[in-house]
Structure 1
């Protein structure tokens, strides 16, 4: 099942460290089959307030998502983002095409 790394980032300080992070992250994703599906897109806010940037990276499965985040290659650049932005990062399992909203009711 596809898994996702999602980040909701704000107060991003665009500077040399974020540029270095962006230049290096793709190489950390490749060994784990990861690729961006949302990154840098301007949001069309329909309800409420959207105060941050959403980044979503897809992986073939949760094991590869976890292994990517824990990998020495990613850990070596992580501080470039965390020192220059605020926000949360989560790993989430996706659902298949047959999923219905009521499936979460158990």
Structure 2
């Protein structure tokens, strides 16, 4: 069953660190079955305070999503994301 990793950027703290993350994250996707569904597209905030940006990645399974997220390659790059911005990150299982 498909799984979705949802990155919600709440606020940017250090744009240089965030730029480093954005410029180095692509190689972490190699060898992983990822489909990009949303990449910081236009937001239409309907209720409440909306985030700065949203990314949605599709994986074939929850395990495939965790394998990428927990990989040493991604975690090394994610350190820049942690320094650069406040995010919420969630993996949600899709419907059959």
Could you tell me the TM-score, scaled by structure 1's length? 0.78
What's 2:85 paired with? 85
Question: How far did 1:14 drift?
Answer: 6.1
Q: Which whole-Å CA distance do the structure 1 matches of 2:91 and 2:30 have between them?
A: 17
1:72 aligns with 2:72: yes
Structure 1 runs (4+) deviating above 4 angstroms are: none
Structure 2 match to 1:101 = none
Deviations 1:8-47 (Å, cap 9, x if unpaired)?
1121246332222112222212312113211111212233
Matched residue count: 96
- The CA distance in 2 between the partners of 1:49 and 1:17, in whole Å, is 24
- RMSD between superposed Cα atoms in Å: 1.7
Using the TM superposition, name which of 35-44 and 16-25 deviates more: 16-25
1:54 match: 54
CA distance in 1, matches of 2:48, 2:18: 28
Q: Which has the larger radius of gyration?
A: 1
Indicate the structure whose relative CO is greater, using CA pairs within 8 Å and at least 6 residues apart. Answer: 2
- Aligned counterparts of 1:94 and 1:46: Cα–Cα separation in 2: 23
| Structure 2: unaligned runs, 5 residues or longer | none
- Are 1:17 and 2:17 matched, yes or no? yes
Instruction: Compare the two structures and name the one with the higher strand fraction.
Output: 2
